[in-house]
Amino acid sequence: MTGSQLKTLLFVPASRPERIAKALASGAGAVIVDLEDAVPADAKDSARDALDSFLSDHQGAPIYVRINGRGTEEFEADLAVCRRHGKVAGIVLPKAESASDIQLVAATGKSVIPLIESAAGLVALNDIAASEGVERLSYGGLDLSENLGIESNTEGAETILDQCRYQLLVSSRAANLQAPVETVFPVFDDEKAVHARARRARNMGFGAMLCIHPRQVEPAQSGFSPEPEQVEWAKKVVAAAESNDGAFKVDGQMVDAPVIAMARTILERAQ
């Protein structure tokens, strides 16, 4: 699946390697094997060894790996595992705060998805986005809320996080990156709520969502996909554009170059 079509990235703990295959079969666009938050401090070595063994035998789709952040004791060892294996498609870097953070990770030859989780990361966002090796941007909503001193799951918190989403979107566009990835949503037993969160993120210019449970995959993917009537409209616009120059009408609506571009984007999302 290409990056522009990737709508969901599902986390699975590295300490539970038996779950990786199940995650790969979940229908998620990509799987992120987590060496950071999902693994207790006293299990880091065993989790890394389990991931190393899994990758040595793995013949399936490439995976992403969320490593421990720069400045931790685990950072270099996590990078070494990722560097050794061609089945690692990219590295998710938590607490990214500078272009130099990205350079250290990109030196493995893997693409990087930086997670913005602090005020320092937000301040350095343009430099991070412009760093060589960055695939797309994402953020950790809970860690960022804690760092900024805002109360999670409140109207005020969402107002502030929307400003952070705005910054990720603009920095992504300015650096010609793929659309940013929405943070995890803690609810997994309410498909309508997951769908609504994904749809809201899509409407804000985001292209995918981090998932923490397989039950989130389908509603999140549908939330990022266009409605059937949108697809039909887009097909009409693109077909009409092939035989018209300049502005023209489709279903009573004036169509020009920006509208044609949007129609093509809708069709790409529908794939």
Mean pLDDT, rounded, for 66-82: 97
Please give, one letter per residue, the 3-state secondary structure of 125-143.
HHHHHCCCCECCCEECHHH
Residue 3 confidence (pLDDT): 52
Q: What is the pLDDT of residues 210-231, one digit of tens each?
A: 999 999 999 999 999 877 777 7
Residue 218 confidence (pLDDT): 96
Q: Is 162 annotated as a binding residue?
A: no
Q: How many CA atoms within 13 Å lie on the side-chain side of 170?
A: 9
Q: Is 117 annotated as a binding residue?
A: yes
Q: What is the pLDDT of residues 156-194, one digit of tens each?
A: 999 999 999 999 999 999 999 999 999 999 999 999 999
pLDDT level of residue 246 (50, 70, 90 thresholds): confident
Determine the straight-line distance between the first and last CA of the chain, rounded to whole angstroms.
10
* Residue 87, helix vs strand vs coil: coil
228-241 vs 257-270: helix crossing angle, rounded to 10: 130
CATH class, range 3-224: alpha beta
Q: Which two tokens stand for residue 3?
A: 């990056």
Q: Is the pLDDT of residue 1 over 60?
A: no
Q: Where in the chain is the domain with CATH 3.20.20.60?
A: 3-224
Q: Is 66 annotated as a binding residue?
A: yes
Residue 4 confidence (pLDDT): 53
Give the global pTM: 0.88
Q: Which two tokens stand for residue 56?
A: 């040595």
Mean pLDDT, rounded, for 1-18: 84
pLDDT level of residue 110 (50, 70, 90 thresholds): very high
